[in-house]
Structure formats: structure tokens, C-alpha cells
Amino acid sequence: MQNNYYIYVLKSSLTDRLYIGQTNNLDRRVDSHNKGLSRFTNKRGPWVLIYSEKFETRSEALKREKFLKSGKGREILNNIIKETSI
């Protein structure tokens, strides 16, 4: 059985802040953010999943996460979010 890894972007319904992370279980991770189990997202929720990408390896997901947290990556991510928003 092959695990998949994901990068994900959450948006706070309270503050409109974005959070970028990676995981191998997307549903469980989003749930843990909304239960306050992450230090950064603890008091800023509820959180809504607004974007995700799937990868075959954790190293690919970590590389993409790091890029999306960079200046150019955030710019690209903002454009992706604008294009997919209704």
C-alpha cells in the first residue's frame, strides 16, 4: 500500500489568515487544526480547507510546502486561490 502526501492551505474563518502545511492524512490533519491541536492554528479557527496538492513522496510535499511559504510561492498561491474562487 502506497501512502500519498499532501500540501494543504487552510483559511481562518475568524481572521482570514492562511496556513500552509503538509500531511499524509488530509482529513485527520484538518480536523486536528479545528480541534485546536496545533499551536499556530489553536486560537485562530475555525479553519476551512481551500487548496491541496497530492504527492507520492513526503520529500516532494515538503519541497512544495517550503516553496509555497516563500515570497514567490505565496504570490503563485494567491493567484491559484483567486482563479479557483467563485
Could you report the per-residue pLDDT of 7-66, keeping only the tens digit for each?
999 999 988 899 999 999 999 999 999 998 888 888 888 999 999 999 999 999 999 999
Average the pLDDT over 2-9 and give the result.
91
Q: Give the confidence band of 1 by pLDDT, cuts at 50, 70, 90.
A: low
Pick the more confident residue, 86 or 19.
19
Q: Which CATH superfamily is domain 5-84 in?
A: GIY-YIG endonuclease (3.40.1440.10)
Please tell me the distance from the alpha carbon of residue 55 to that of residue 58, in angstroms, as a whole number: 7
Determine the straight-line distance between the first and last CA of the chain, rounded to whole angstroms.
Answer: 36
Q: How far is CA 74 from CA 1, 16, 19, 20, 69, in A?
A: 33, 15, 11, 10, 6
Task: Give the residue extent of every domain in the chain.
Answer: 5-84
Check: CB of residue 45 under 8 Å from CB of residue 12. yes
Pick the more confident residue, 2 or 1.
2
CA 78 vs. chain centroid, Å, equals 13
Question: What single-letter DSSP state applies at residue 57?
Answer: S
